[in-house]
Amino acid sequence: MKTIAKLGLALGMFAAMGYAENWTGKLIDASCHDRSQQNPADSKQNSDLASCAATASTTSFAIQTSDGKVYKLDASGNAKASTALKGNPDNKNATATVSGTMDGQTVKVDSISVR
């Protein structure tokens, strides 16, 4: 009976991982992006990545894909992105690949790779 339970648990975990999606794009400061969306007159261009580029001091991250869509990261993703950026402080326009699942308007991050 224990073997069947272990097998069922393992299959369930693999099935859950199968639903993961991947997003690749520029890592940005989600708070800055929110402010620029609320006050478009204050921002030269909403698509200007340089004005909201993520830095080592950023606490709330999002990823902006090549088609211009912005996906906010969950608390776990914010911590992972912060750690990855602190490991490479010279990277001014970090590109990231995020793996996870959508939960409303937020990505529940399983893993993040910053280059």
Distances, alpha carbon 19 to alpha carbons 12, 45, 53, 96, 98, in Å: 11, 35, 29, 20, 14
- For residue 56, count other CB atoms closer than 10 A to its CB: 12
pLDDT in tens, 10-59: 666 666 555 789 999 999 999 999 988 887 665 555 445 567 999 888 99
pLDDT in tens, 64-113: 999 999 999 999 999 999 998 887 766 777 899 999 999 998 999 999 99
Instruction: State if pTM tops 0.85.
Output: no
